[in-house]
Amino acid sequence: MSAMIFQVLKLLDDSHTPYLLARTSPMGITIIATQVGKRIEITVDEHEVVDVAMFVGDENVEVGIEAVRRALAQD
């Protein structure tokens, strides 16, 4: 059986879901996948444990530096 990270990537590829790989900790890899109105964060650690967090929301886009400030200030 292939490594868990490759199984996850295959699922994303098969569903035509765009993703970005990030090394956010020394013990795992985070995959940030996006679908319409949804962001999925998948972490695979060195023990092949898979954690998933899903964020659902609208696709409103704001423009400008003030929009960045508001986004960072939100809880």
Say what the pLDDT of residue 63 is: 81
CA angle, 65 then 55 then 18, to 5°? 85
Please report the pLDDT score of residue 50 as a whole number.
Answer: 94
**Each residue's pLDDT tens digit in the chain (75 positions)?**
469 999 999 999 999 999 999 998 898 999 999 988 889 999 999 999 999 998 888 667 788 888 888 877 865
| pLDDT value, residue 57 | 80
Q: What pLDDT score was predicted for residue 18?
A: 95
- In the numeric block, the tokens 């994303």 are attached to 12
How many angstroms separate the CA atoms of 70 and 65, rounded? 9
User: What one-letter code names the amino acid at 24?
Assistant: T
According to the model, what pLDDT value does residue 1 have? Answer: 42
